[in-house]
Every structure is written in C-alpha cells, then in structure tokens.
Amino acid sequence: MDTSFIRVSAACPVVNVADIKFNLNNIESCIEEALKEKSKFIVFPELCITAYTCADLFLQQELLEKSESAIESLCEFSKNKDILIAVGAPLHFNNCLYNCAYIIFKGNILGIVPKSYIPNYSEFYEKRWFTEGLGILGKTVNLPFAKSIPFGTNLLFTCNNIKIGFEICEDLWVTIPPSSYLALQGANIIANLSASNELVSKADYRKSLVSSQSARCMCSYLYASSGVFESSTDLLFSGHLLISENGLLLKENNRFQRENEIITSIIDIDKLNSERLKNISFRNSPSICPFEVCEIPFEFSNLELGVFDRYIDKHPFVPSNEYKRALRCKEIFNIQSSALAKRFSYTGLNKAIVGISGGLDSTLALLVIVKTFDMLNLPRKNIITITMPGFGTTDRTYMNAVNLCKHLGTDFREINIVDACLQHFKDINHPIEKHDVTYENVQARERTQILMDVANKEGGLLIGTGDLSELALGWCTYNGDHMSMYSVNCSIPKTLVKYLVKYVSDKEASKEASEILLDILDTPISPELLPKDVNGKIAQKTEDIVGPYELHDFFLYYFMKQGATKSKILFLAKEAFKADYAEDEIIKWLDKFIKRFFTQQFKRSALPDGPKVGTISLSPRGDLRMPSDASFNSFL
C-alpha cells in the first residue's frame, strides 16, 4: 500500500449542549461526508459528543452514561468504514473525570488520550470538573462494551509510515506541548481536538500557533474547534478548522458556520519524513523525551485519494503571489549584495570584473554588483564589464550587453575572441568546421582566461554568473564559465533568475534600462557558442538541448528538498504540468535530469564560493556531499 499521501479531515458538527443523540447524528453525518471525499482520518472538536460547555452537567451520571453509550454506537457505526475517527468525550475512570480523545477504527476503540493540561484561568475553569491527564502512561480502561483499552498521553497510532498522535486544546498552548514529544518519537500527523473560544484577533494567533507547531515538529497538524452552537452564556466559539503541514497552512474554513462542516486536504507523508531524515537536530532529540510512546498499529484497507486536489506549484522556487514575489526578490538581492560586499571588504579590493553576454545570468550578476558598489559607496566605473563576441554572438545580445553596461555607468570593454579561438583550434589541430563540444568549450575557456587575467591586471574580483539550474545539469564548461573568484548566482534557479531581473525592471530601473532588461528577458536562453543561423538569429537554444528549465527546476526541487523517488517526481510533475507537457515528454526530460545530475557532479565538487540564498544549494561545502562517480542506474 502506497503511503506517500493520505487524505485527512477536520470537522465541526452542529451540536446541542447535552443533547447526545443529536450530536452523535451530526458526527456520523460528518463521517459520511468525509468518506465521500475519500478521507482516511477525521478529527472532531473537544467533548463534541456532549458539547464542550456542559459545565456542572459533566457531574451528572446521566450525561456520562449517555456519552458512553454514544461512543459504543459510534463504534458500531464505524465497523465497515475505512476511516480513523478521533472524537471528544468525557471518561469516568478511577473516580476522576478526564477530557479525552477517543480513537475509533472499524468498530474498535484503539485508544483513549486524556487532555494533559487543564486550563483554569481567565474564562476557563475546567479543573472544576476534569483531572489533568499529564503523566498517565500505559494504563488500560475497561468499558462495558470494550476491555483493556490503552489509555495515556503517550499513545501513537501507526499504519506503516503514517504515525498519528493526539493532544487536546490547551495542550498546544503550553511551553512544551505534548505533540513536541510525540513528534520526536515518530508522530508525523498531530491532531488537536479543541474548544477555543473566539475573541478579537485570537484566530490569527491560533492559526500562527498551529502553523508554527507543525513547522517545529516537521509534521502535519489538524485542528478542529467547537462551533457556534455551544452555549453562549459567556463565550462564543467559531468552529475554527485548520490543516497545516510543516509550517504551511493547507486548508482553513470560514468560521462561524451554522451547519455541519468539514475541511479536507492531502498530506504528503514522504515530504515530512524526508525533512526529518535530513535534520540532524531533530534526529538527535528523542533522548530528551520524558516518556516512551506506546505504538498502536492499525491497517487501512486502502489509501485511495480520489481526485488528487492537492495544489502542486509548477514553479516551487517562485512565489505565485505578486506581493510575496516582490518581497522575495528584494530579500534575495539583499542576500547576494551583502555577501558580495563582505567578500570585497575582506579582500580589500575595490574593483569587480564580470563577463556580460546580454543573457539573463550575467545581467543578474551585473545588477547585484551595481547594488553592492552603490552600498559600499564605490564608483560604478570600478565595475569592469567585458563583452567577448564569438562565433555565435548575435546583434541582439551584443547590443543589449553594450547598452546596459553603458547605461549603468560601468567601465565597459569589448574583447573579440574569434582570432584567439582560431589560433587555438590551429594549435590543437581542431577543424574549424567541426562544431562539437571542443569547438564550444574553447570559446568558454578563452572567455574565462581573459576575465581571470583582467582581474589579475586590474587587482579586481572576477564575479561568476552561473545559476543553480545550470549547476544541477552541469550545463557549464569545466574551468570555463564554471570558474570564477566569487559566484553570486550559484543558488538561484533559472526560473527565479527571470523574476529577479523583472523585479529590477519593474521597481528600480529607469525607463531606458527597463526596456533593455525586458528585451533580455524576452531573448531565448543560449550560450551562443555555435554560429548564428542564416538570418543572424540564435541557432543554439539551451532548452531545445537539455529541456525546459521550468521542468528541471521542478525536478531539482523535489529531488533535493524531499529526496523524492523518480516515480513520485513524475507523479507530481504530471499533476503540475498536465496542461503543458505530455507524459512521455516529462519522462524524457526527467531521465535527462537524473543522468546529467549524476554525471556532472565533478563540476559541482569544484565550485567557487557563493552565497546560499534559498533552502536548496549544491555547494560541496555544506549542502551536497555527493561522490563524483555515483551511478544513476538505481535512480532511473
């Protein structure tokens, strides 16, 4: 059974205070609705069998007996239903009353989890009725219809790599929530059965709390709170429902609904487990747990998801929201320029050398250098920009390079490499008409030699321009454009490079510079190492050779971020790009990505320094310790 994904639900049923039969009917209706949506796990609010606001009625034997009978009825109702149910109800045990989560599956109570922390301040006075469950470990409970039910705060409900833990309302609000310990011992889904009253702005804080706990625990967090039909004597409840995953809010309801409501979302279990596998601090923390979990296994019949409606972003490196994207671009420029400024202040140098081709990467590097020099109060004339026309340079890229450098006020120079390359072809006895990899790499290395030598002559720092996508594919010439003295774009993927240049065009550039930048953005991506076509246009288009960068960036994100298998990456890519590429085309470029990623590691092993900008980097000094001669066969 594939347990990469699971569909889960949080529910808020309509209740009548102390009307147990009415409440049970609505709980069952919510379960039926969740089953229609193919959900495998549903969590309900705190004490929803009785309603949370029963107050002193919790001391009435009639209410407790009816609640117990309702749990029995719910077990009977669940017998042939392939869904794990977490429902809130009181438990009378050893002369104490506990506020509990009953975990029910296919007719059985798998376990009962008591609320660890009982609030008794401000508007809450639960200690009048309930006893804290904190410290209850490894007990068993007998009910008239079920014997030896596991009871404690250390229960973990497991189905293969799906591991579910529970806490109740106040438990989340304390300094160290029980979910923190449960997560350290394997729980990758935490469910909270809650009754959190509504106050002005409390919803924002609650949402932040849920999201931050899911991030801290690297888990999915399901939160279900009591709704508007609780007693309003002094408090009002809104029925807040939340599903979060590793800090990201996947689903939230509209509060204050007056009918049964559920929200559902698909959780990526592999993603969560992968994050934990990479995080050494997380792996080393279980020793601090004050208890050991009691694992309670169960088995779903299947994990069918129905319609796969989890949003898969085609461009995971690029925020889809325009406002957030602008903030991201601003932040990245600050990281790049601050890192470069540190390198200049350390070396004591005050000149930068950069090769300008009229393409995206060198344009971005130049914009970063300009920002850095402005920040350091260095004259832009200390930025030596060199364009080096070769056999494939087109008028369009040449003029864009010339005009941009002059407009930015740099020390612009032109060095034609054709004669030097012709001499080199003669020296190594390479036919000029043979347009192979040697023909291309001679040009790339000639350009790098010129830049290095100018940097020595001028006492400056050669700034590299290559980006993360090119490094992932090895789309660079070893000891050619692969090399520099400091590389500012090395952890920025190609899909994001475009938006960074667009950001400057929109927000910071003059009208004339903006026109140049927009034309650069509209130019096909090419190293321009092969001769122009008969019309003087670019003949060598990178994406025709290695594949679309938007696909490769997508592959890179899931390969590095999650350590995802080929089959999972393919599944996600088909979902994200279903309107853009046929399946066989995605497979073709995915195979290309895997092969190039493995065979080109030797280039990444010798990368120059450069700032880490996002969560994914290929630096051999920290983020990717990979052998240069590893086989890709198992990964295909």
Alpha carbons within 13 angstroms on the beta-carbon side of residue 449 total 11
392 labeled part of a ligand binding site = no
Both tokens assigned to 431:
């036919």
Distance CA 7, CA 43 (A): 12
Flag whether 111 is marked binding: no
User: Has 502 been annotated as catalytic?
Assistant: no
Query: Per residue in 406-423, is it b (16+ CB within 10 Å) or e — as a string?
Result: ebbebbbeeeebeebbee
**CA-wise closest residue to 355 among 544, 487, 254:** 487
State the catalytic residue, choosing from 38, 46, 100, 159.
46
186 is annotated as contributing to ligand binding: no
356 is in an annotated binding site: yes
Say whether 220 counts as a known binding-site residue: no
Helix-then-strand count for the chain, H and E: 19, 20
Is 525 labelled as part of a ligand binding site?
Answer: no
203: its two tokens:
């919803």
| Residue 46 designated active-site | yes
- Residue from 38, 40, 81, 115 carrying the catalytic annotation: 115
Q: Is 360 known to sit in a ligand binding site?
A: yes
- Give me the catalytic one of 30, 100, 159, 169: 169
Has 314 been labeled as part of a binding site? no
Q: What is the DSSP string of 330-386?
A: HHHHHHHHHHHHHHHHHHT---EEEE--SSHHHHHHHHHHHHHHHHTT--GGGEEEE
196 is annotated as contributing to ligand binding: yes
For 447, the token pair is 């350009």
Is 361 among the annotated ligand-binding positions? yes
Give the span between the Cα atoms of 32 and 440, in whole angstroms. Answer: 64
Q: Is 94 annotated as a binding residue?
A: no
Instruction: Extract the tokens encoding 253.
Output: 């309801």
* 345 annotated as a binding-site residue: no
Q: How far apart are CA 481 and CA 568, in angstroms?
A: 33
User: Is 477 among the annotated ligand-binding positions?
Assistant: yes
Cβ(192)–Cβ(167) below 8 Å: yes
Catalytic residue flag (residue 115): yes
Closest CA to 359 of 367, 351, 348: 367
For 23: left if phi > 0, alpha if psi spans -120 to 50, otherwise beta; the answer is alpha
DSSP element (H, E) containing 458 = helix 437-458
* 478 marked as binding residue: yes
Q: Is 357 annotated as a binding residue?
A: yes
Cite the annotated binding site for L-glutamine by residue number. Answer: 121, 196, 202
Cite the annotated binding site for ATP by residue number. Answer: 355-362, 465
Give me the active site residues, please: 46, 115, 169
Cite the annotated binding site for deamido-NAD(+) by residue number. Answer: 441, 470, 475-478, 603
Cite the annotated binding site by residue number. Answer: 121, 196, 202, 355-362, 441, 465, 470, 475-478, 603
